[in-house]
A and B are shown apart, each in its own frame.
Chain A
Amino acid sequence: MASIAGFCPSTPHSPPLEKASAAPILANMLAAMSHRGSSHVATLLHPADLSSGLPTVALAAGHMGQTPALYVDKTSHMGVAFSGHLHNVDELKPLYGCPPQATTAQLVQRAFAKEGLACVHHFRGAFAFAVCDANQRLWLVRDRIGKCPIFYANGPEGFAFASEIKALFAGKHLTPKLNLNAINQSLRFWGPVLGNSHFEGAFALLPGMALCLDKGNLLLHRYWDINLSQENIRSELREEEALQTLDELFCDAVSKHLKTAPQLGAFLSGGLDSSLVCAVAHHQAGKLPTFSVAFEQARFDESQYQQQVAKAIGTEHQTLLVTDEEIGALLPKAVVQAEHMFLRSAPAPFLALSTWVAQHGIQSVLSGEGADEFFWGYDIYKETILREFWARFPSSSVRPKLFARLYPYLSLSELPAEMLQTFYGIGLENPKAWDFSHQIRWNNSGRIARFLSPAFLHATAHASPEETLRQTLPPSFETLPPMGKAQYLEMRTMLQNYLLPTQGESMLAANAIQGCFPFMDVRVVEFAASLPRRFKLLGLTEKYLLRRYGQRWIPPEVYGRPKFPYRAPIVEALLGKTPPPWVQTLLSKEAFENVGVFDGDKCSKFIARLRTLQKPPSEADAMTLNALATTQLLTWHFILSPSLPSPSPSPLSWL
């Protein structure tokens, strides 16, 4: 875990940067991210030939512990700032002639000097790094899946990048301004369309991509994408063979993390995926501390299963009870950390967990994240298969009845079959539509848009979120089979622009913890993409192959258990008996009007209604409340709040 930051002036004729002018900027950028690592190193890379017109590049990195995340090669003047974790460093170091004690930044420098960007194909892990090469080109490279973040801004003043957007603000490279279209996109897809952030001018480098700044020209290059095409599917694969390959790849991914990640612990949610990770890791390591979150209310709590698995596997397990009150109190910090609004409150307990785990001396955490996306655990895959099945005989009265079995944990199943049919029948006439799989989910979350203010609606009227998303899809998307399309969209929206930025990486980064996700190891991901559909969804049994694999490792109550999504209380946390003080300030009619995103009148009536509710709120109402609250928090903290104390910069050491 580290933070990286840097900048360079845009004009060829800018005077070369000097330490005295660059130091305070770099120090402020790193100070804004000091939670990721508090030892700060920096360098200035001047072009060898000052008449070349190339700008000076300022690079900096913050790190924890003894290992600097910045490296400068004295002979070539190449510089590398590295954040994240390569879990196959032991294989890479001999490949690039690096001594065993070399840092990862040094390894990346050697690899890049030898092969240029092509070296990234050998890298496995969660990473985002910057390279200033011998030709004074600045490269930013991000891991394939998007486990490690990197943002950039490119303006008339110059180019700047950082692990978190707040550093771009702290370095005065950008003035915080809400990106209204991105907010609108989040209300449908749960996150802004990939590449955008919630702030104007702050862009996220896409996963699997590299950016090259060459003499003022910005070029983007995709070095990897998941192959979900029909041709890539190994239809002949037999179950035993698939299980054996999965075992090899998965065990390898876990063991690589065990060897390379410092002070490793694991999150155990009680579901199939994290149980598998914990069981395999414990088996290999012989000892593994595991941690989980428990909630006050039974409908969110999985502690019974967590205990069961921990006992069966034999890990040293500890549980943190996160109360409704604590969730409400932590939500502002979670929003600021993620720089993102959320439709669910789950990032807050996740933040509590990561803080607690850090107090136990843990520096890296294994989790089951990614299995649901790549092995098809989510209901959206079942929903798509059911809708596809129904679309073949739209007049069937039997086929739509299957929807009642889909969401046993939501109140949907109370609805009579005929009504479900209308609800799920949206878009049924065109099962080949690009967004067939996600129409229902996006319509559901899009209902929050009814609370937007007229001024906001006016400002965003010309930009359709769907069209914007569609334009970012690669040409090959159209040729994918229907389930391939569903998975691609799920990866590009839910995983990469909601889950990873809000609870995968960022809540861990708040405590300088490195996330280790064996299910997102590139070899596991590519294997999953090649599996025939029956190994992922067999009838309505999700993650079929993982369940079969689970039989080797975990108790039947767990591998046979239906998917239970990780959710946390929202209405109880914000409007319960002891609401956090910020609720009164930020969720009033006036506060909504001040922020201007939502309609103050509608929002205050809605909140008043939720306060008087006699029964548990509907999922849709809870999500609406969370979206309203976190958008208010986001705007308040970054834009409206009068004068927040900025973290004081620590001294830089220069390389």
Chain B
Amino acid sequence: MTVSSPFVLEAASMDSIRLKIRSFISDTFFVDDFEDNASFLKNGTIDSTGMMELVNFIEQSFDFKVADSELVPENLDSLDNLVQFISRKKA
């Protein structure tokens, strides 16, 4: 079976983004269990300096710059938010 729908393609690439970030967070911050929609900062998954490391990782792995004005919780402060943000930037 071939996948031709652009919608499915998009979903697949979003899943791989999600997986990539999740494994970065697990490996870097030593947390295994966090919900996709849980705030990193409020739940203590990532601290303030960790957020900078996360931004560095995203810039390097997905090859774009995060502008100062984009450093907001709506873009960065949960796995869901990050995946949405990266997909928008890559679109």
Contacts and interface: CB of A to CB of B under 8 A. Distances in A.
B44 A415 contact: no
B4 interface: no
A440 to B, nearest CB: 10
A419 interface: yes
B30 A451 contact: yes
A421 B76 CA distance: 13
Contacts of A422: 39, 41-42, 73, 77
A224 interface: no
B47 A444 contact: yes
A620 to B, nearest CB: 5
Contacts of B28: 609
Interface in B13-45: 27-31, 39, 41-42, 44
A39 to B, nearest CB: 50
Given A416-B72, A450-B29, A605-B27, 6 more contacts: A415-B51, A419-B41, A419-B77, A421-B73, A602-B30, A619-B49
A497 B87 CA distance: 49
A334 to B, nearest CB: 26
Contacts of A415: 48, 51-52
Given A618-B49, A618-B50, A620-B49, A416 B71 contact: yes
B48 A419 contact: yes
B43 to A, nearest CB: 9
A117 to B, nearest CB: 44
A411 B50 CA distance: 10
Nearest to A620: B47
A602 B51 CA distance: 20
9 contacts: A415-B48, A419-B41, A422-B73, A423-B47, A443-B44, A451-B30, A609-B28, A618-B47, A620-B49
A446 B44 contact: yes
B74 to A, nearest CB: 8
B84 to A, nearest CB: 16
A487 B30 CA distance: 33
Interface string A389-432: 00000000000000000000001101110111111011000000
Interface in A593-626: 602, 605-606, 609, 618-620
A398 B21 CA distance: 32
Nearest to B71: A416
A423 B49 CA distance: 11
Interface in A313-369: none
A420 B48 contact: yes
B31 A450 contact: yes
Contacts of B41: 419, 422-423, 426
Contacts, number: 60
Interface residues of B, number: 21
A114 interface: no
B37 to A, nearest CB: 14
A221 interface: no
A605 B30 contact: yes
Contacts of A412: 48-49
A447 interface: yes
Contacts of A418: 71-73
Q: Give the 5 A-B residue pairs with the shortest CB-CB distance, closest first.
A: A618-B49, A416-B71, A418-B72, A422-B41, A422-B73
Nearest to A449: B44
B42 to A, nearest CB: 6
B47 A450 contact: no
Interface string B48-70: 11111000000000000000100
A619 B71 CA distance: 22
A606 B30 contact: yes
A447 B71 contact: no
Contacts of A421: 73
Nearest to B42: A426
Contacts of A443: 44
Interface string A193-219: 000000000000000000000000000
Contacts of A609: 28
A414 B71 CA distance: 11
A422 B40 CA distance: 9
B49 A411 contact: yes
Given A422-B77, A423-B41, A416 B68 contact: yes
B11 to A, nearest CB: 28
B48 A423 contact: yes
A412 B47 CA distance: 9
Contacts of B48: 411-412, 414-415, 419-420, 423
A527 to B, nearest CB: 37
Nearest to B68: A416
A447 B47 contact: yes
A450 B31 CA distance: 6
Given A414-B52, A426-B42, A618-B49, A419 B72 contact: yes
Contacts of B76: 419
Contacts of B47: 423, 444, 447, 618, 620
Nearest to A621: B49
A450 B30 CA distance: 7
Nearest to B72: A418
- Counting chain A CB atoms within 10 Å of each CB, which of B29, B44, B48, B49 scores highest? B48
A604 B76 CA distance: 28
A159 to B, nearest CB: 41
A419 B51 contact: yes
A397 to B, nearest CB: 12
Contacts of B68: 416
Interface in A619-645: 619-620
Nearest to B73: A422
B32 to A, nearest CB: 9
Interface string A433-450: 000000000011011001
